């Protein structure tokens, strides 16, 4: 039996959360730096997020996604998987930053999904060590509670302006997501379920953004 070529690996579902706030009139977003021993994007500053786990589909939610957000996610996922992806973004944010978007019952997470919007999607190029089909969510920090701490996955956690964040060690795809997030915050697109979601793919040495 022969091994499958690396480029044939299918990307696994991942979820990323952009938590933002308006501080003294300036829009700031939460980012942290990945440890050097990470296989995927070591040293880089990223938004909290990670792989969607099987257990995310079993989390009881404190509130559901808006119907338009659910509809956008269901373009490429069944209803149960769509909800699990959003719940995964909340769980990863809680684990990595200490900020809770939801409630806990006996330390069991109950994600509050009603404040989330789904604004961007990116698929890791073939041939990479890890491949992800990442959905990016955005939420106002007023929907989160707790203090910045986390489990150590991310260090140097802080809210920073978009200009300051661009000066960090940030991967190309994160810069694209950052630009989409800034556009989303400054020009809220509304709740149209038919709204296109930008999809990033890496082809022939460069990123291409197309509607999902």
Tens-level pLDDT at each residue, the chain (212 residues): 344 444 457 899 999 999 999 999 999 999 999 866 655 566 799 999 999 999 999 999 999 999 999 999 999 999 999 999 999 999 999 999 999 999 998 889 999 999 999 999 999 888 777 889 999 999 999 999 999 997 788 999 999 999 999 999 999 999 999 999 999 999 999 999 999 999 998 777 777 888 88
Residue 157 domain flag: yes
Residue 3 domain flag: no
Residue 6 domain flag: no
Residue 62 domain flag: yes
Residue 5 domain flag: no
Could you tell me the residue range of the domain that residue 69 belongs to?
A: 11-211
Please state the pTM of the whole predicted model.
0.91
Beta strand 206-211 pairing with 132-140: unpaired
3-state secondary structure the chain: CCCCCHHHCCCEEEEEEEEEEEECCEEEEEEEEECCCCCCCCCCEECCEEECCHHHHHCCCCECCCHHHHHHHCCCCCHHHHHHHHHHHHHHHHHHHCCECEEEECCEEEEECCCCEEEEEEECCCCCCCCEEEEEEEEEHHHCECCCCCCCCEEEEEEEEHHHHHCCCCCHHHHHHHHHHHHHHHCCCCCCCCCCCEEEEEECCEEEEEEC
Q: How many domains does the chain have?
A: 1
Would you say 94 and 143 are in contact if contact means Cβ atoms under 8 Å apart?
no
Burial call 5-15: b when 16+ CB within 10 Å, e when fewer: eeeeeebebbb
Residue 60 domain flag: yes
Residues 6+ apart with CB under 8 A from 146: 94, 98, 99, 100
For 207, the token pair is 């990123």
The domain that holds 57 is classified in CATH as: 3.90.79.10
Residue 140 domain flag: yes
């Amino acid at each position: 039996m022969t091994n499958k070529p690396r480029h044939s690996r299918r990307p696994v579902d991942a979820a990323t959360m952009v938590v933002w706030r308006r501080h003294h009139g300036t829009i700031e977003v939460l980012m942290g730096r990945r440890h050097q021993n990470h296989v995927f994007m070591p040293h880089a500053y990223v938004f909290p997020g990670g792989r969607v786990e099987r257990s995310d589909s079993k989390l009881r939610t404190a509130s559901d996604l808006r119907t338009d957000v659910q509809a956008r996610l269901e373009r490429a996922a069944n209803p149960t998987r769509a909800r699990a992806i959003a719940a995964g973004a909340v769980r990863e944010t809680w684990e990595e930053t200490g900020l809770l978007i939801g409630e806990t019952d006996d330390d069991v997470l109950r994600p509050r999904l009603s404040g989330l919007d789904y604004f961007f999607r990116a698929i890791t190029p073939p041939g990479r060590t890890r491949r992800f089909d990442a959905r990016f969510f955005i939420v106002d920090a007023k929907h989160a509670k707790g203090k910045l701490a986390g489990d150590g996955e991310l260090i140097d956690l802080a809210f920073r302006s978009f200009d300051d964040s661009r000066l960090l060690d940030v991967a190309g795809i994160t810069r694209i997501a950052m630009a989409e997030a800034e556009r989303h915050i400054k020009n809220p697109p509304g709740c149209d379920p038919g709204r296109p979601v930008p999809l990033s793919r890496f082809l022939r040495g460069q990123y291409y953004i197309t509607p999902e």
